[in-house]
Amino acid sequence: MDPGSCYFIQPMNKEKRRRIFERLRAANPTPTTELVYRTPFELLVAVILSAQATDKGVNKATARLFAVADTPEAILALGEEGLKAHIRTIGLFNSKAGNIIKTCSILVAEHGGQVPHDRSALEALPGVGRKTANVVLNTAFGEPTMAVDTHIFRVANRTGLASGKTPLAVEQALLRHVPKAFLKDAHHWLILHGRYVCTARKPRCPECPLADLCDYRDKTPPP
Ligand code: SF4
């Protein structure tokens, strides 16, 4: 992953990290994904579809899809072409449809039609990498995992919360450095902060609630 404008710095001290998460929690006590889902299976499908797509676009498509097929068996019954008809507004829908069909077959054949609560079983599913497995483990099963996407990668490096040149390095640093009490919800807070405040091209530093705690040296100046 390209660190872009991120500035690599030493991880910050424990007290600052705690204060950052206290502020994020105070602003949003129960953060969650912006993907709409009702079951672990719907979440898994939505996350597979969300690669290089917006949550809003995915939600529009899954609202149509889940109304007619919300289990692996039902999606297999639709078939790949039937599935594509529901998700063709989403980027890379052809390959995503293929992966979802293969994933549904494995879920039915090997997991009784259920999403496995197990990292290696999740990562063995087509279209499911470490990040998707982390989202499912965290959001569907309540595990304190850290799904490092482009937003978390940027926010962690910029602020100094956790530095790393790869998503895996940032994930491991965050797991080491985020205080335990905040670990389960940390990835949602950091994604939302990156999506809406600490944006890629021009972070909104003048209005950022973390500005006095953030170690980024190239903060956007006040207007
Ligand atoms: S002060 Fe700026 S760089 Fe730091 S977290 Fe806030 S928006 Fe991001």
pTM of this structure: 0.89
Taking only Cα atoms into account, the Rg of the chain, rounded to an integer number of angstroms, comes to 18
- How much is the pLDDT for 83? 98
Fold designation for 40-139: Endonuclease III; domain 1 (1.10.340)
Residue 3 pLDDT > 80: no
Where along the chain do its domains lie? 14-31+145-207, 40-139
179, two tokens: 């205080």
State yes or no: is 14 an active-site residue.
no
Query: Does 14-31+145-207 carry CATH code 2.60.120.200?
Result: no
The residues, ordered by sequence, that sit 6+ positions from 56 with a Cβ below 8 Å of its Cβ are 34
Whole-number pLDDT of residue 115 = 98
pLDDT at 39: 98
For a pocket test of ligand 1, which of 155, 193, 208, 213 has the largest count of ligand atoms closer than 8 A to its C-beta?
Answer: 208
pLDDT (mean) for 42-59: 96
Residue count of the chain: 223
Cα separation, 150 vs 129, in Å, equals 15
CA atoms of 171 and 192, how far apart (whole Å) = 17
Indicate whether 11 pLDDT > 90: no
In short, whether 196's Cβ falls inside 6 Å of ligand 1 is no
The answer to whether 213 and 20 have CB atoms below 8 angstroms apart is: yes
pLDDT tens digits for range 74-99: 999 999 999 999 999 999 999 999 99
Residue-level pLDDT at 12: 81
Residue 207 Cα to ligand 1 midpoint, Å, equals 9
Q: Which amino acid is at 21?
A: F
Using one digit for the tens of pLDDT, what is the confidence trace for 130-159?
A: 999 999 999 999 999 999 999 999 999 999
